[in-house]
Structure 1
Amino acid sequence: MRLDKFLKVSRLIKRRTLAKEVAAQGRITINGKVAKPGTVVKEGDELAIRFGQKIVTASVDRIQESAKKEDAATMFTIIKEERLAQIDPAFIDDED
C-alpha cells in the first residue's frame, strides 16, 4: 500500500493530501530511508514521522484498504515519541 494512503487509513495523519505533503517534504522515513508519498509500506516496516518538534516512531502491524475509526489504531504500534531539542537563542554567538 502507498505510504500516503496507509497514513490516512490508519489515521496517523488525518488527510491524504496532508500525508502527501509531509512525505514530499522528506519528513517521513521507512526503515531509516526517506520515503516519498508513493513508497510501498509493508507489515513490519518502521515509520518515523516528524511533526513539528516531535518525532513519532511506529511499526506497521497490519495493512488494510479501509478501516473504521475504532480499528485504525490496530494497524500500527507507537514505538516511541521524542521531542527535538530546542535551540536557546541566548546560546547563539552573534559575531559582529
Structure 2
Amino acid sequence: MNLMKIWIAVVQYMPTELMLKSLFTICKKNSNMRERLIRAIAGCLILVSVLLAFYVNINWLFLTAFVGLNLLQSSITKWCLMEDILRKVFKVDN
C-alpha cells in the first residue's frame, strides 16, 4: 500500500481538531509546556520528513535540515519562531 494512502487514511479518522483543542487546553495550565511543545513539534517534523525522504523523495531532508537549523539558531539567539506562533496563534503561555 502506498505511504500517501496510509497517511490520508490515518488523517481522515483522527479527530485532529478535538485533539489539538484538548492539547492546547492542557498546555495552558502547565508552566513549562511551551518548551515541551516546541520539542515535540520539532521531533515530529524531523521524523515525518525522514520517512517522507525514505519513501517519497530525498528532497524532504531539506525540511529536516531546516528544523535542525532553527533549533540551533534558537539556542544561540534565544528566539524561536515556533514559540511566537504558539504564543500568538494558539495562546500558549508559560
Question: TM-score category by the smaller chain?
Answer: under 0.3
User: Which is strand-richer, 1 or 2?
Assistant: 1
| TM-score normalised by length of structure 1 | 0.22
User: Which is helix-richer, 1 or 2?
Assistant: 2
| TM-score normalised by length of structure 2 | 0.22
Larger RCO: Structure 1 or Structure 2 (Cα < 8 Å, ≥ 6 residues apart)? 2
